[in-house]
Amino acid sequence: MLGSQAPTGAYIGGTDYLGSRPNAAATGITASSLGYELDSDTTTSGNQTVYGGNLAVTVAGFGLGASAAVVANAASTTITAASVAGSTALSVANSAPVVTLTGDTKAATFILSSTRVVSTTAGTEVMAGAAVTLDPASTSNLTLDALTSLTVYGAGVVTFDLSDTAGDSEDLTGNLTTINLSGMTAFADLDEDGKSENGSFGYNNTSTAAVTLNDAVIETVVLGSAVDTVTTGSTVEFMDSIQGFQLAATADTTDAVDVVDTDVSDILDITGASHTIVADDTAYSSLDAALLALSATSGKKAAFHADGNTYIFINSADAILDNSDQLVELVGTYDLDLLVSVIS
């Protein structure tokens, strides 16, 4: 437990600790599971760390800063971050912790709990959050390099940068292949009367996730009810697969053309340039057949259906299919005209 109401000076260095401590000046907490032993053997290659047991850390309470750092060394780590509504009358500020996880754990799960303050004049959302950066630009030290799975439940604000920093002296080993946000829930922006406020189409979901993937790793991302932005340099060689991508047209049936409802739809950012993708409704016999046909055109940028799924293909400036041509998979079939309007 990390919270300002915890007793100060609580012992935190032990290996079988159950208790709480304050989040003093955003220094956060460092915790290791019982049995965790870092690989100190420099002669045998590979990771011989013993991960020991599991850790559970709760970050909640009044007076927490906007950021809380958790360094976790364990086989698996579960972090609960809960925001708490304050009180203007009592001069108690809202507490909206955004937890940054670092350390050395093989599996990480965040449970986010957000809340809302309602006064006579406003309904203010107080969002908990989670942040992970696997390879910070400022250092060559790899963070969470043994991580194999990253999971989020609840409503909150998530920022995961899983990319490998270019030009770094060390490369990520690419263990993280599954990012599961399917347990995330929506959190409506409401006013003091409980009515929706903000948003382009009258509804604003304040539960959001921004995930930047690793271009040298085949990743599976499972999205949920947050507004998700997936940034990827996915290629033919390392093709990422996205499940649960939300895409909806506006409810306005008078629209002459389909207009995407950006308040509830997810966003796909394909790196390398600002892309204008063309919807291609050709009935291809297979993904391979589609890629061969599309790669015959230099610079082709197309969204299409094949094998029961939806793909976005971006050819290089040639007429052959290369491993480095860009390719993203969305599991299931999506309306291509709507889809191309949420890709950049």
Residues that bind Ca ion (CB under 5 A): 123, 189, 213, 217, 219, 223, 228, 240, 246, 266, 315-316, 318, 322, 325
User: How far apart are the C-alpha atoms of 4 and 24, rounded to whole Å?
Assistant: 8
The distance of closest approach from Cβ of residue 178 to Ca ion in the complex, given in angstroms and rounded to an integer, is 12
Are 160 and 211 in contact, with CB atoms under 8 Å apart?
Answer: yes
The distance of closest approach from Cβ of residue 109 to Ca ion in the complex, given in angstroms and rounded to an integer, is 18
Are 313 and 327 in contact, with CB atoms under 8 Å apart?
Answer: yes
The distance of closest approach from Cβ of residue 177 to Ca ion in the complex, given in angstroms and rounded to an integer, is 9
Are 235 and 219 in contact, with CB atoms under 8 Å apart?
Answer: no
The distance of closest approach from Cβ of residue 222 to Ca ion in the complex, given in angstroms and rounded to an integer, is 10
User: How far apart are the C-alpha atoms of 106 and 232, rounded to whole Å?
Assistant: 23
Are 225 and 206 in contact, with CB atoms under 8 Å apart?
Answer: no
The distance of closest approach from Cβ of residue 96 to Ca ion in the complex, given in angstroms and rounded to an integer, is 13
Helix then strand then coil, % of the chain, to nearest 5: 5, 40, 55
3-state secondary structure of 338: helix
Smaller CB distance to Ca ion: residue 6 or 236?
Answer: 236
The distance of closest approach from Cβ of residue 110 to Ca ion in the complex, given in angstroms and rounded to an integer, is 16
Closest-CA residue to 259 (of 344, 331, 328, 201): 201
Number of helical (H) and strand (E) elements in the chain, helices listed first:
2, 19
The distance of closest approach from Cβ of residue 205 to Ca ion in the complex, given in angstroms and rounded to an integer, is 8
Enumerate the β-bridge partners of residue 339. Answer: none
Distances (CA, A) of 293 to 310, 321, 322: 16, 9, 13
Smaller CB distance to Ca ion: residue 24 or 320?
Answer: 320
Smaller CB distance to Ca ion: residue 240 or 280?
Answer: 240
Smaller CB distance to Ca ion: residue 74 or 128?
Answer: 128
Smaller CB distance to Ca ion: residue 72 or 226?
Answer: 226
The distance of closest approach from Cβ of residue 142 to Ca ion in the complex, given in angstroms and rounded to an integer, is 17
Smaller CB distance to Ca ion: residue 52 or 174?
Answer: 174
Integer-rounded Cα Rg, in Å, for the chain is: 22
Which residues fall within 8 angstroms of residue 225, CB to CB, at 6 or more apart?
A: 184, 185, 186, 205, 207, 246
Smaller CB distance to Ca ion: residue 223 or 293?
Answer: 223
Smaller CB distance to Ca ion: residue 217 or 306?
Answer: 217
The residue of the chain with the least Cβ separation from Ca ion equals: 316
The distance of closest approach from Cβ of residue 233 to Ca ion in the complex, given in angstroms and rounded to an integer, is 7
Which residues fall within 8 angstroms of residue 170, CB to CB, at 6 or more apart?
A: 140, 141, 142
Smaller CB distance to Ca ion: residue 39 or 322?
Answer: 322
Q: What is the DSSP string of 228-251?
A: EEEEE--BSSS-EEEES----B-S
